[in-house]
C-alpha cells in the first residue's frame, strides 16, 4: 500500500491500520548503528515479537531504495544489520536527498516519527531520544529529535534521553518547545542506563490508558507536536549511576581528543561505553528497549 509515491507500508501494517488495530513504529538506527551484527538483528526480531505479544503490530521503519518503509521483512532487517554503519544514519535533513537518489537510510527518532505520522501510526518505541549534547550551549549540538517532538504528533516511548547527553538542558529545551514529558510510573526522568537522574517530572501516568487518554485529548485540541513517555529501565538491568557516569565522562574525553563531532558522536560514545563496561551497557540497552516496546504496545492497544 502506498499513500504517496514515497511511502510504502508492508501488507501487515497496511491491513492493521485499515482495520484500526494497534500499531507501533520501531526505528532502524538501532539496527544499523546501535549494535554489532548479529545481535542487532536478533534484538530487532525480539522487539517485533514483544510488540505482537502485547497486542500490537510492529512497524519497523527505514528508507530502502528511496522509499519510506513502515514494516520490514526479515530479509530487510537482516540487510540493515549486515550493512551496519555503511547505511546512512538518516534524520529529517537527510530524507529528501536519499529519496531522490533511491538510497537506503536507517531512521533516527526524528525520521521514524516522520514516517510514522505519514503512515497514521500514533505510537513509536525507541531506546533513548537524542537531546542537547554536553557543552551544547557552546557547540549548538542539539538533536533534531527534540524539534521533531515539538511539531510531529507521535507518542515516543523511551527510557529518557541517552545518558551521554546533557539531561537538564534537554529537559529545558523540551519545556520551551511545549512537549509533554510523562513519567510512566515515575516522578523522575529516567537516565537511560539508570532509573534515576535526579531531575523531577511534573507529569506522571501509571496506566497505559491514562497516556492514551492524554494523546486523544491532545489530538482533539489540535496540538501540533508529540508526547514523550519516559519509562525507567527495569531494576534488574539498571546500572549504578556513579559507575556509569564515570564511564561516560571517560568516553566523552576520548571523543573530544579524537575530534569526533556531529552525528558520529552518539555511535562513538555508545560503542566506547560498551567497551569500557565490558558489554554491560549494551545488555542494559537491549533490555530497556524491550521494556519500552512492551509499554508502547500497551499504549497503542489502549488507544
In the set 162, 272, 274, 294, the catalytic residue is 162
Helix (H, G, I), strand (E, B) or coil at 3: coil
Q: Where are the alpha helices (DSSP H) in the chain?
A: 11-19, 29-32, 39-53, 74-83, 95-101, 109-119, 136-139, 144-151, 167-176, 208-221, 241-258, 265-276, 280-302
In the set 8, 27, 263, 294, the catalytic residue is 27
CB 79 within 8 A of CB 62: no
Question: What is d(CA 142, CA 171) in angstroms, rounded to the nearest whole number?
Answer: 12
CB 300 within 8 A of CB 123: yes
The one-character DSSP state at 129 is: B
Bridge partners (DSSP) listed for residue 59: 25
- CA 139 to chain centroid: 23
Question: What is d(CA 220, CA 209) in angstroms, rounded to the nearest whole number?
Answer: 16
Specify whether 162 is catalytic.
yes
- DSSP assignment of 24-39 equals EEE-SHHHHTSS-TTH
Question: What is d(CA 8, CA 32) in angstroms, rounded to the nearest whole number?
Answer: 20
How far CA 147 is from CA of 152, 170, 241, in Å, comes to: 9, 11, 28
How far CA 290 is from CA of 13, 45, 46, 190, in Å, comes to: 20, 11, 8, 15
How far CA 224 is from CA of 96, 139, 155, 215, in Å, comes to: 22, 28, 12, 12
The one-character DSSP state at 186 is: -
Active site residues: 27, 162
Amino acid at each position: 500500500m502506498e499513500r504517496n509515491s514515497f511511502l510504502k507500508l508492508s501488507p501487515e501494517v497496511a491491513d492493521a491500520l485499515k482495520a484500526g488495530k494497534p500499531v507501533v513504529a520501531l526505528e532502524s538506527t538501532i539496527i544499523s548503528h546501535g549494535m554489532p551484527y548479529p545481535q542487532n538483528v536478533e534484538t530487532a526480531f525480539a522487539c517485533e515479537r514483544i510488540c505482537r505479544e502485547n497486542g500490537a503490530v510492529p512497524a519497523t521503519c527505514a528508507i530502502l531504495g528511496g522509499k519510506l518503509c513502515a514494516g520490514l521483512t526479515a530479509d530487510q532487517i537482516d540487510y540493515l544489520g549486515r550493512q551496519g554503519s555503511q547505511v546512512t544514519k538518516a534524520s529529517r535533513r537527510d530524507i529528501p536527498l536519499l529519496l531522490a537518489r533511491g538510497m537506503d537510510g536507517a531512521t533516527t527518532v526524528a525520521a521514524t516519527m516522520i514516517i510514522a505520522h505519514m503512515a497514521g501510526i500514533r505510537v513509536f518505541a525507541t531506546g533513548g531520544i537524542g537531546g542537547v549534547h554536553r557543552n551544547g550551549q557552546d557547540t549548538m549540538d542539539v538533536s533534531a529529535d527534540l524539534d521533531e517532538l515539538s511539531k510531529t504528533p507521535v507518542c515516543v516511548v523511551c527510557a529518557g534521553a541517552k545518558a551521554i547527553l546533557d539531561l537538564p538542558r534537554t529537559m529545558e529545551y523540551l519545556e520551551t518547545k511545549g512537549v509533554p514529558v510523562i513519567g510512566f510510573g515515575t516522578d523522575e526522568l529516567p537516565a537511560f542506563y539508570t532509573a534515576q537522574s535526579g531531575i523531577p517530572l511534573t507529569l506522571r501516568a501509571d496506566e497505559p490508558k491514562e497516556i492514551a487518554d492524554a494523546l486523544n485529548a491532545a489530538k482533539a485540541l489540535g496540538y501540533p507536536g508529540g508526547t514523550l513517555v519516559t519509562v525507567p529501565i527495569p531494576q534488574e538491568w539498571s546500572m549504578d549511576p556513579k559507575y556509569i557516569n564515570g564511564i561516560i565522562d571517560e568516553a566523552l574525553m576520548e571523543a573530544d581528543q579524537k575530534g569526533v563531532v556531529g552525528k558520529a558522536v552518539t555511535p562513538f560514545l555508545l560503542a566506547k561505553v560498551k567497551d569500557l563496561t565490558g558489554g554491560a551497557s549494551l545488555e542494559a540497552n537491549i533490555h530497556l528497549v524491550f521494556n519500552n516496546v512492551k509499554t508502547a504496545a500497551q499504549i497503542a492497544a489502549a488507544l
